[in-house]
Amino acid sequence: MADIFMELVQSYERGLGTEQYSGRPSLSDLLNRPVVVFWSSNDKTGRYTVSVHDHIDELHPILLDMILASKVTASSTRRLSRIFVKQKPVTVKGVKLIISEGESK
């Protein structure tokens, strides 16, 4: 089986070349940070943006913000595509919603 992580990293690096975007991780970060997330966009380029993290828990507030802002629909500008932990693919199996009684306004 081909190493999907390395294929995605190579494709990502070749596709962007020297182009920069805010928060773009270095190749060293992609290869050495424990958590690497590929995000797809709806901008018709088919390119990914990538974020790197030290712990999978760092994704919780990002994903929660996306859910609460209704950004998980097809009209979002960024969608979670792939998550890798130590260069191995992982799958989101579920989301736990924690609610509390709302404050009166």
Instruction: Give a yes or no: residue 76 inside a domain.
Output: yes
User: Do residues 89 and 83 make contact, with C-beta atoms less than 8 angstroms apart?
Assistant: yes
Q: Residue 66 has which token pair?
A: 């996306």
Note the pLDDT tens digit of each residue in 18-71: 777 778 899 999 999 999 999 987 777 777 889 999 999 998 888 877 777 765
Is the pLDDT score of 74 beyond 60?
no
Instruction: Give a yes or no: residue 23 inside a domain.
Output: yes
Distance CA 54, CA 56 (A): 7
Instruction: Give a yes or no: residue 100 inside a domain.
Output: no
Q: What is the pLDDT of residue 105?
A: 58
Total tally of structural domains belonging to the chain: 1
Instruction: Give a yes or no: residue 99 inside a domain.
Output: no
pTM of the full structure: 0.79
Instruction: Give a yes or no: residue 98 inside a domain.
Output: no
Q: What is the pLDDT of residue 49?
A: 87
The contacts of residue 78 (CB under 8 Å, 6+ apart) are: 39, 40, 41, 49, 66, 71
Instruction: Give a yes or no: residue 28 inside a domain.
Output: yes
Q: What is the pLDDT of residue 41?
A: 78
Is the pLDDT score of 104 beyond 70?
no
Percentage of the residues of the chain whose pLDDT score is greater than 70 = 87
Instruction: Give a yes or no: residue 37 inside a domain.
Output: yes
Question: For residue 51, what are the domain limits?
Answer: 4-90
